Amino acid sequence: MRKTFALHPGRLGLSDLRRLAADDLRLVLAADSDGGIAAGRRLIDTVIEEGKTTYGVNTGFGSLSNTSIAKDDLAELQRRLVLSNAAGTGPPLPDAVVRLILCLKINTLAGGRSGVRRELVDALLALYNAKVVPLIPAKGSVGASGDLAPLAHLAVALIGEGDVRLEGETLTAREGLARTGLVPFRLAPKEGLAMVNGTQMSTALAVAGLFAVEAVFAATIVAGALSVEAALGQHMAFDPRIHQARGQRGQVDVAAALCTLLAGSDLRDVAAREGRLQDPYCLRCQPQVMGACLDHFRHGAEIIAREVNAATDNPLVFAEDGDILYGGNFHAEPVGLASDSIALALSEIGAMAERRVAMLTDANHSLLPPFLVRGGGLDSGFMVAQVTAAALASENKGLAFPATADSIPTTANHEDFVSMSARAAYRLEEMADNAAAIAAIELLAACQGLEFRRPARSSKPLEAAVAAVRERVPAYDTDRFFAPDLAAIKDLVRGGRFLDLVPASLRLTS
């Protein structure tokens, strides 16, 4: 029997979302959640009965908001809204991301600020629990007025239009609903607008990006420590007194993590005898660079965690005051700027890891054989692996350009300044995948470098990291097909294999 996760609207944490993404859980509303939904809906029903002009309930949308809609057409208004807004394009979002979107939409609607019926929330829960995944194109949102087109594709699947995926098979929405015993939902006044308004797509993509970043960051911390060992780097650079003298939190935490990873290594004394007086920045300045990146990741995670529970519809219903207020919480600038900040830091950690790969393969700096092979000439070793790392680092630098720096007016200039949050968050997955490959190349290179330091042993946690790599990829005696080795260790990185080797203080979503 599937375990159940009780959702308390407005109290959903990043760790909850990670659990929901990882485990097969049935989602239900907590028993005390219905009051806010019912109160919000009563206020919407009241304004309909009184004929009070209310945006999105009995008016047109966007620049057509001054057009009044007859009472008999209010439900049809909502159906036509979601159909016309479902204008996305591009590849479909991954199923895991769509399920995150669905979970976030349930969370915000169940808070009662959108004025929807409990029936709509229950229909979305049924869709989630039946694992019917609406086919949502990745492109078409500018992040204001919410993620209109993508969220409309979610809504049209609910009403039996468009396509869905079920157990990996693409079906029409009607067929997918029928196979799971569900029926197309009929939207009531305000409910179509509540479905398409909001930042849930941008936020879900940012959450998925954070999950990926967290795993890559841990791997680059471990890989950086292994590179210190392989290149006979000086541990002194991580002395806590240096970092406390500056006082930057991320820097202090990364230095402490590196000290913990390196503690007890035989190679410390070898480095003191045979290493450099001062190491290249890619080794010595890891706390300063990686710590600054950690600070950006943490800041972004804090903003995204708040957005997970945000009411981002318009208008918003405050039943306790009898008010329906028009505003702009659908504007996803917080998510866009947070994602841009994460992207910039993600580019940096990959760029620094690539520099360590370059250093390890350069005999003039690494104190190791050229390209990490004994038979240089006949064997090329890690020569082109470093080229791949360089290509990926360069690609990430281009992808890191801030999406929020752009704005294009839409809807006849009524929505005249937009966030581009969807693009800001969407590229995090691609960037994390690139950075994971760079981290995998560094892990392979550092482990290979350590082969030349034997019989000296590194620390217990770093030898555990070496063992994890060696379970998948043996040491290089001669050249061999490199791509499968890279893919194997990249899978370890993406799978979070190195998370347990770094302190909990470096986690972003716990």
For residue 37, pLDDT over 80 is answered with yes
Residue pair 153/135 in contact (Cβ under 8 Å)? The answer is yes
Global confidence as pTM: 0.96
Whether 129 has a pLDDT exceeding 80, the answer reads yes
Residue 471: per-residue pLDDT: 98
Q: Using the 8-state DSSP alphabet, how is residue 70 labeled?
A: -
**Rounded to an integer, what distance in angstroms lies between the CA atom of residue 393 and that of residue 438?**
8
Six token digits for residue 205: 């993509």
213-269 tens-digit pLDDT: 999 999 999 999 999 999 999 999 999 999 999 999 999 999 999 999 999 999 999
CA gap 490, 266 in Å, rounded: 28
Q: Measured between alpha carbons, how far is 228 from 247 in angstroms, rounded to an integer?
A: 23
Mean of per-residue pLDDT scores for the chain: 95
Question: Which pairing describes strands 169-172 and 137-139: parallel, antiparallel, or unpaired?
Answer: unpaired
Q: What is the pLDDT of residue 431?
A: 98
Buried residues in 481-506 as b, exposed as e (16+ CB within 10 A): ebeebbeebbebbbebbbbebbeeeb
Residue whose entry in the numeric block shows the structure tokens 């919000």 = 40
Task: Please give the pLDDT value at position 487.
Answer: 98
In the predicted structure, residue 413 carries a pLDDT above the cut 90: no
Percent of the chain with pLDDT over 70: 100
pLDDT of 68 reads: 87
Let me know if 55 is exposed, middle or buried by CB neighbors in 10 A (0-12, 13-18, 19+).
middle
Paired strand residues for 164: 134, 171
CA–CA dist 164, 158 (Å, integer): 10
Q: What does the pLDDT average to over 100-117?
A: 97
Query: What average pLDDT does this structure show over 260-286?
Result: 94
281: annotated active-site residue: no
Q: What is the average pLDDT across 492-502?
A: 97
CA separation, residue 472 to residues 304, 392, 481, 484 (Å): 35, 23, 14, 10
| DSSP output for 257-307 | HHHHHHTT-THHHHHHHHS-SS--HHHHTHHHHHHHHHHHHHHHHHHHHHH
pLDDT at 147: 97
Confidence of residue 109 (pLDDT cuts 50, 70, 90): very high
Residue 377 banded pLDDT, cuts 50, 70, 90 = confident
Select the more confidently predicted residue: 329 or 31: 329
| Mean pLDDT computed over 450-461 | 96
What pLDDT score does 394 carry?
Answer: 98
pLDDT (0 to 100) of residue 340: 98
Q: How confident is the model at residue 374 (pLDDT cuts 50, 70, 90)?
A: confident
How large a percentage of the chain has pLDDT more than 90? 89
- 3-state SS assignment for residue 198: coil
pLDDT-based confidence at residue 356 (cuts at 50, 70, 90): very high
Handedness of CA 408, 411, 412, 417 (dihedral sign): negative
For residue 411, the model assigns a pLDDT of 84
- Phi, psi torsion values for 453, nearest 5 degrees: -100, -5
The stretch 325-350 carries a mean pLDDT of 97
As a whole number, mean pLDDT of residues 5-20 equals 95
**55, 281, 426, 476: which is the annotated catalytic residue?**
55
pLDDT at residue 60, as a whole number: 82
User: Using N-to-C axis directions, what is the helix angle for 118-129 and 34-50, rounded to 10°?
Assistant: 130
- CA 297 to CA 485: how far, in whole Å? 29
pLDDT at residue 63 greater than cutoff 80: no
Q: What is the pLDDT of residue 314?
A: 94
Q: Residue 365 pLDDT more than 80?
A: yes
Where do we find the tokens 């290149």?
231
What is the per-residue pLDDT for 117?
97
- pLDDT tens, position by position, 141-161: 999 988 999 999 999 999 999
pLDDT mean over 353-361: 97
Weakest mean pLDDT among 23-32, 114-123, 484-493 = 23-32
Does 48 score more than 90 pLDDT?
yes
